[in-house]
Amino acid sequence: MLATDTTATPRTIAASRTTGGRALSITLWTIQILLAAFLLIASAAPKFAGQRDAVETFAKIGWGQWFRYVTGVVEAAGAIGLLIPRLAAWAALGLIGLMIGAIITQVFVLVPAFAALPAVFGVLFAVIARVRMAQAVSPAALFRR
C-alpha cells in the first residue's frame, strides 16, 4: 500500500496560496502592461497622429473625426489607468465599454470578422477588473479632498 502524507498544515496551505497568488499577479501585470502598450502605441497614437487608416475608418463610421480623438483619449486614459493599481479595475471596466462599442461597430459598420480582437480584449479586461477590484479605490474617494 502506498503511504501518503496528509499532514498539510495551515502554513503549507498559505504558502501554496501565496505562490499561486504571486504567479497570478505577475501574469496579470504582464498582460496589463502589454495591453496598455498596445492601446497607447498601436491604437491611440495613430488616431492622434491622423494616420490615413484611422481617418478612413472613422469616416466610414460616419460620426466625424472628433470621434476619432475621443476614442483615442479613452484608449490612452484606459491604458494609463491599467498601470495604476488603484485605478486598474476601473480602467478595465471602462475599456470593456469601449470594446463593446468596437464590437458593435465592427459587426454593423466595418468588417464583422475583425470583431474578434475587441471581444478577446473585452474578456481580458473583465478578468483584470474582477481580480484587481480588491485593490481599487472607491469611486467616491477619487473625488474627495
* In the chain, % of residues over pLDDT 70: 86
Cα→Cα distances 17→11, 24, 59, Å: 10, 10, 51
Evaluated on CA atoms 63, 81, 33, 116, the torsion sign reads negative
Question: Is the entire prediction scored with pTM above 0.85?
Answer: no
* Mean pLDDT for the stretch of residues 49-74: 96
pLDDT of 126:
97
How many residues in total does the chain contain?
A: 145
pLDDT of 17:
54
User: SS3 for 18?
Assistant: helix
- Cβ(55)–Cβ(68) below 8 Å: yes
